[in-house]
Amino acid sequence: MQSVIQKIEEKFKKGAVVDVKSGDTVKVHQKIREGNKERVQIFQGMVIRTDRKGMHTSRITVRRIASGVGVEKSFLLHNPLVLKVEVTKRSKVRRNYLTYMRERTGKSARLTGMDFDRQAVNNIRDLKAEEEEAKLAAEKAVAAEVEAAKKAEEEATNEAKVAAAMAAHDKAAE
């Protein structure tokens, strides 16, 4: 029974995700849909909580101060709407849940920074996602070609109608 559940969970997992720890300052690139439009929104803040690492439901809670008000957002790392998580700063912490940071502001909210290899941490290649992106790009290109062909055909019929109307007008004028 457990193996069946694990197989189902594996379908929904991303191939690779960034190793995010509590105390990291991250930029989360999230796809936002508004009606027919799509855009990418970047939420930058400190990770105050990490949950269920290694599972398909792994989650991080990111906190930032926006206009003097603390804003927290939770992100599922394997969610297809979360495009990229980028670690910008790593801090030395000894806890997994940094809920005490909610009460702190200003200098007391600072954490001791650590040196880390930013490129090694953030450079994650997900081959499945890259293949899927290539397929989507190819499908978009084919759809654009079909649309262009339709438009050209429609334009040609319109030009033929205009030419016929001009010919009829010229005959009527003679």
Task: Give the pLDDT confidence of 68-85 residue by residue, as tens digits.
Answer: 888 999 999 888 888 888
Burial of residue 23 (number of CB atoms within 10 Å: 0-12, 13-18, 19+): buried
Q: Are residues 106 and 50 in the same domain?
A: yes
Q: Are residues 120 and 79 in the same domain?
A: yes
Q: Are residues 99 and 149 in the same domain?
A: no
Handedness of CA 158, 163, 166, 168 (dihedral sign): negative
Question: 1: pLDDT confidence band, cut at 50, 70 and 90?
Answer: low
Average pLDDT over residues 140-145: 91
153 is in which domain, residue-wise?
Answer: 126-174
Q: What is the pLDDT of residues 90-135, one digit of tens each?
A: 999 998 899 998 888 888 888 888 888 888 888 877 677 677 778 8
d(CA 58, CA 51): 6
Q: Are residues 64 and 20 in the same domain?
A: yes
CA atoms within 13 A on the CB side of 4: 1
Asked if pLDDT for residue 11 goes beyond 90, the answer is no
Q: Are residues 69 and 155 in the same domain?
A: no
Q: Are residues 130 and 97 in the same domain?
A: no
Q: Are residues 158 and 171 in the same domain?
A: yes
Q: Are residues 64 and 140 in the same domain?
A: no
Q: Are residues 59 and 103 in the same domain?
A: yes
- How high does pLDDT run on average in the chain? 87
CATH for 60: 2.30.30.790
Number of structural domains, the chain?
Answer: 2
- Report percent pLDDT > 90 for the chain: 34
Q: Are residues 115 and 145 in the same domain?
A: no
Q: Are residues 115 and 52 in the same domain?
A: yes
Asked if pLDDT for residue 170 goes beyond 80, the answer is yes
Claim: this prediction has a pTM higher than 0.75? no
Q: Are residues 87 and 10 in the same domain?
A: yes
